[in-house]
Structure 1
Amino acid sequence: MRDFPSCFGENGVQVADSSSSNTSRNAQNLVTCVYQCRIRGRTCLITVTWSKNLMGQGLSVGIDDSANQCLCKVEIKPWLFSKRKGSKSLEAYSCKIDIYWDLSSAKFGSGPEPLEGFYVGVIVDKQMVLLLGDLRKEAFKKTNSSPAPSAAVLVAKREHVFGKRVFVTKAQFCDNGKIHDLMIDCDTISVNDPCLIIRVDGKTLLQVKRLRWKFRGNHTILVDGLAVEVFWDVHNWLFGASSSVGNAVFMFKTCLSAEKLWASQSLSDSSTLQWSFSQRFLDNKSQNLGFSLILYAWKNE
């Protein structure tokens, strides 16, 4: 499935066919973020993918043009004992692009993204276009750069979450907005009539009863005064051969035209729906229609 720019196809999400949930978790434990920025007056997309497997943590940073054509890419393979900081110089649009990273003191949780003690920076013509992490002073000093007039904006995020019944993550639905605690609660095994509940900061904003009849759908919730369209597909949880392997898909999108986009796709089966989530994201992420968060939820045994 090529639901991100073509040069990141190897990071595309595949539904695991292994009978082991641990194998599925190791294979799918990654987070991909897409940022929109301007380089030499052109709209570009910076894709940052964090991964985690038995070999350790990994990172890739790529830059695409507005037509999703790969301009350049740096991939840092998963490490255990290798050096965790460095830089790479690339060229695009006849300008120098420098990518710096320092993860030597990074602290990680259960997921692939570092929590603190790190920085990743993308510098164009000595201006910091994108800076991730809390070591901001160290990053500007190391790169000898200055803040860009307009910083990159997060337009899309895709991640995998794991749990038995409850799945949690953090979400920021608008640029520089509040970071919210997002929780998905769904028991599909021990109850006769499963119910899907979505909470933001502990407050229930969506409850779907009779889930066996409503295993796919969409609904609008309000977060920070923004209309957020929620799409869900829990078919694999309810009707898959093994609930510990199949994943559900959720999308949270701050886009006024999301319902029209939804209606324009064929929803004939689970694989088509999962493809349509990602395809709508690919077709619209560079048009500044809002923010998209795609969650692949895997049930542990």
Structure 2
Amino acid sequence: MPDPFPSCFGEYAVQVADISGTANRTAQNLVTCVYQTKFSSRCRLITITWCKNLVGQEFTVNVDDTSAQSMCKVDLKPWYYWKKQGFKNLDVGGKKIEVFWDMTAAKYTNGPEPQEGFYLAIVSHGEIVLLLGDMVKEAFKRTQAKPPSIEPLLLSRKEHVFGKRYYTTKAQFAETGRTHDIMIECHTGGSREPRLCIRVDKQLVVLVKRLMWKFRGNQTILVDGLLVELFWDVHDWLFNANMGNAVFMFQTYFPVDSESWVNCEHESMVSHSLKNRESKGIAGFSLLLYAWRSQ
């Protein structure tokens, strides 16, 4: 689609605008995470999507190959109890990939992603290339696989958040850093002038006044010693309140001499890591939030 606000977002304008345009009021509550992994001597992207709707929950595993994509979808509806534990085989470039899971004791908070009491393991040639969840011992016992030779790396996270005035989530910006609490507060009604406040661990990092004129923009903040570029688009909250959502993106940057993201020979991985290189460094983890107003 055409770039409606290049002056605000620069190279990110099209990306954020496209995402905002694809979301709608019927969007399900979902979280999508993209991981960089390496197996069969090649780097591959693995996308995990957790979804929650009126009839239950589900998750999808998508392994990206250079020529095709292999997908595994599992419904976790209450009447599908036997599906809460199991495994499936995937064919990725002629190689067998095994997906193991156990969600029988999974515990959730408000979102679709389980927080504890579960595991999701992806195995290739007797090696766990990606392991999610806290039931680590159970996962290794079930799969009879060895730990990964190269630890997977979380590239991006996309999620939907809901609220009336406050929108909260958690994020880990540095690979070895701690998890931070993120709170977005937006005043758009009443007699007060619209304004936007964004806090990380209760500390105010962004305050946007005169929001009617600054409904799209970006600002650089510092978290865990890393530069984090924060982009926002709250146009629909102000001018299309009945239909639209706001979009926020947090993009981290590593120092130019960092090797954290140049650890893979695969061309697509290297291009993903380096295509956003600027004077501030190498683009790293990104967090994208769709913020929906609850009725």
1:78-118: CA deviation from partner (whole Å, max 9, x where unpaired): 41221211101122244321100100000111110011100
Aligned to 2:278: none
Instruction: State the one-letter code of the partner of 1:291.
Output: F
Q: Distance in 1 between matches of 2:135 and 2:22?
A: 34
Aligned to 2:284: 290
Contact 2:226 2:253 in 1 (8 A): no
Task: Flag the 1:291–1:191 CA change in 2: closer, same or farther, 3 A.
Answer: farther
For the pair 1:250 / 2:275, whether they are aligned, the reply is no
Q: Distance in 1 between matches of 2:36 and 2:52?
A: 25
Residue 192 of structure 1 and its aligned partner are, at CA, apart by 3.5
Residue 60 of structure 1 and its aligned partner are, at CA, apart by 0.3
Aligned to 1:233: 233
Contact 1:168 1:183 in 2 (8 A): yes
Q: Distance in 1 between matches of 2:273 and 2:41?
A: 18
Contact 1:13 1:28 in 2 (8 A): no
Contact 1:155 1:285 in 2 (8 A): no
Bigger Cα displacement from structure 2, 225-234 vs 185-194: 185-194
Contact 2:62 2:72 in 1 (8 A): yes
SS in 2 for 1:145: coil
Task: Flag the 1:40–1:232 CA change in 2: closer, same or farther, 3 A.
Answer: same
SS in 1 for 2:194: coil
Aligned to 1:5: none
TM-score, normalised via structure 1 length: 0.79
2:71 to 69, 73, 76: 73
1:41-83: CA deviation from partner (whole Å, max 9, x where unpaired): 2121000000000110110001003x5x543110012412212
For the pair 1:15 / 2:23, whether they are aligned, the reply is yes
Contact 1:247 1:297 in 2 (8 A): yes
Q: Distance in 2 between matches of 1:188 and 1:28?
A: 25
Q: Distance in 1 between matches of 2:143 and 2:40?
A: 19
Aligned to 1:126: 126
| Structure 1: unaligned runs, 5 residues or longer | 2-11, 18-23, 258-282
TM-score, normalised via structure 2 length: 0.81
1:169-191: CA deviation from partner (whole Å, max 9, x where unpaired): 00011213211001101111224
Q: Distance in 1 between matches of 2:129 and 2:274?
A: 17
Q: Distance in 1 between matches of 2:105 and 2:175?
A: 27
Instruction: State the one-letter code of the partner of 1:199.
Output: R
1:7-156 residue pairs with structure 2 within 5 A? 14-16=22-24, 24=26, 27-65=27-65, 70-82=68-80, 83=82, 84-156=84-156
SS in 2 for 1:79: coil
Q: Distance in 2 between matches of 1:148 and 1:191?
A: 56
Q: Distance in 1 between matches of 2:64 and 2:288?
A: 20
Aligned to 1:213: 213
Instruction: State the one-letter code of the partner of 1:254.
Output: T
Q: Distance in 2 between matches of 1:146 and 1:286?
A: 31
Q: Distance in 2 between matches of 1:247 and 1:176?
A: 32
1:137-169: CA deviation from partner (whole Å, max 9, x where unpaired): 000000000101112110000000000000000
Task: Flag the 1:256–1:145 CA change in 2: closer, same or farther, 3 A.
Answer: closer
Residue 286 of structure 1 and its aligned partner are, at CA, apart by 8.7
Aligned to 1:222: 222
Tell me the percent identity. 49
1:259-278 residue pairs with structure 2 within 5 A? none
Moved over 4 A (4+): 285-288
Contact 1:234 1:249 in 2 (8 A): yes
| Structure 2: unaligned runs, 5 residues or longer | 2-19, 256-270, 276-281
